[in-house]
Structure 1
Amino acid sequence: MAPRAGSASAFSRAEAQDRFRELRSATGLIDDAELDNVWAALETVRPEEMLGSWKGAQFVTGHPVNAMLEKARWFGKTFVSRTDVKPMICRDDEGNLYSDTKLGKGEASLWSVDFRGEVTASMVYDGQPIIDHFKKVDENTVMGIMNGKGAVVDGRYLYFLLDRI
Structure 2
Amino acid sequence: MTTSAPVDTLRHLEYGATIEETLAFFDALPPVGVGDLLGEWSGGEIPTGNPMDGLLGRFGWHGKRFDGPDDVHPLVMDHPRGGRYSLNPALVPLPALLRHPAALRNAAVSRIAARTGPALATRSSRARLRMTEYRGVVSATMCYDDLPIHDVFHRVDEDTVLGLMDMRGLERPFVFFLCRE
TM-score above 0.5 = yes
Which residue number corresponds to residue 117 of structure 1? 136
TM-score scaled by length of structure 1: 0.82
- What pairs with 1:1-165 in structure 2 (closer than 5 Å)? 16-24=6-14, 26=15, 29-101=16-88, 102-103=91-92, 107-149=126-168, 152=170, 155-165=171-181
State the alpha-carbon separation in 2 of the partners of residues 22 and 127 from structure 1.
Answer: 34
State the alpha-carbon separation in 2 of the partners of residues 157 and 127 from structure 1.
Answer: 18
If asked which structure has higher relative contact order (CA below 8 Å, sep 6+), I would say: 2
CA root-mean-square deviation: 2.2
Determine what percentage of the aligned residue pairs are the same residue. 34
How far residue 91 of structure 1 moved from its aligned partner, in angstroms, is: 1.3
State the alpha-carbon separation in 1 of the partners of residues 39 and 6 from structure 2.
Answer: 25
Q: How many residues align?
A: 149
Q: Is the radius of gyration larger for structure 1 or structure 2?
A: 2
- What SS does structure 1 have at the residue aligned with 2:54? helix
Structure 2 stretches lacking a partner, 5+ long? 95-119
How far residue 95 of structure 1 moved from its aligned partner, in angstroms, is: 2.7
Contact 2:162 2:177 in 1 (8 A): yes
- What SS does structure 1 have at the residue aligned with 2:17? coil
| 1:48-69 residue CA offsets vs partner (Å, 9 max, x unmatched) | 1000000000111221212331
Contact 2:6 2:157 in 1 (8 A): no
- What SS does structure 1 have at the residue aligned with 2:151? strand
State the alpha-carbon separation in 2 of the partners of residues 77 and 122 from structure 1.
Answer: 13
How far residue 15 of structure 1 moved from its aligned partner, in angstroms, is: 5.3
State the alpha-carbon separation in 2 of the partners of residues 19 and 57 from structure 1.
Answer: 14
State the alpha-carbon separation in 2 of the partners of residues 138 and 15 from structure 1.
Answer: 9
Contact 2:18 2:49 in 1 (8 A): no
